[in-house]
Amino acid sequence: MRCWPSLSIVAGWLMIVLASSSAYASGAADLIADADRLARADDAPADTLRRVVALYQQAAEMEPRDATVQVKLAAACLELGTHVPDGALAAFERGERAARRAVELDATNADGHFLIAANRGRATKLLPLWKVSPLIVSELEKGVRRSLALNPRHARALHMEAMLLAQTPAPLRVFLEGTKSDVERYLTAAIEADPRFAPARLDLAEYYLAEHRPADARVQAKTVLETAAERRYRAEAEALLRRIP
């Protein structure tokens, strides 16, 4: 005769499983909270950025089906690679993997699609030219446009689309859907979506300067100087203002 465990034993097992799951979730939440706090610091040093990535990575391993933490990890990797030359390529590649995992878990995640393109685009700039396909600009734009289809006011995706259109060499522009005449429109839309987004304002100021519109360039640079929290953006604005006739 088969012996089934008593209801009391089953209930005990269930309590243990639920308690373990709760503790695991609580541990991941604490890691995320610590990483969020460190990530909010302005002009964080390299060690802090690495710590942020490590904390999000731990949380992602504890909660492998949470798309939100994968997005946080991908964004932290992008920040780390952008500001720490040593190991930048590995950071961007790690960020792309996390962003792809986020999209696997939630295909409607606009941040995930943007971060795939952003991390991959940054990584591509670090590769030797012979390793880069001419079609990369098209692939990056498709990722950005997926993000914008889900969230038309995604400031960072709008900014990236503008930069793709502005900086892609002329022979490769045939692979893009947008045109260089759209640059100002995308940069303006990025600022409207997030008025405190300093990189878009600085790039719009550079665009105006190149188009011989110094007064418009000055307005954007001064706004960054007055509103940007990060010292590096204020320094860029000051340098730009010195170049404006």
Amino acid at 174: V
CA distance 99 to 144: 13
When mean pLDDT is compared over 43-52, 164-173, 193-202, the highest value belongs to: 193-202
Whether residue 97 contacts residue 137, with contact meaning beta carbons closer than 8 Å, is answered with no
In the structure encoding, which two tokens stand for residue 35, read together? 């990483």
CA distance 101 to 208: 38
Q: What is the pLDDT of residue 86?
A: 86
For the segment 95-143, what is each residue's pLDDT rounded down to a tens digit?
Answer: 999 999 999 999 999 999 999 999 999 999 998 887 888 899 999 999 9
Whether residue 157 contacts residue 144, with contact meaning beta carbons closer than 8 Å, is answered with yes
In the structure encoding, which two tokens stand for residue 87, read together? 């190991």
**pLDDT > 60? residue 146:** yes
Helices (H), 63-109: 67-83, 88-105
Residue 125, Cα to own-chain centre: how many angstroms? 16
Q: What is the pLDDT of residue 46?
A: 87
Average pLDDT, the chain: 89
Q: Look up the pTM and report it.
A: 0.86
User: Exposure of 90 by Cβ count < 10 A (0-12 exposed, 13-18 middle, 19+ buried)?
Assistant: middle
Q: What is the pLDDT of residue 8?
A: 54
What secondary structure letter does DSSP report for 155?
H
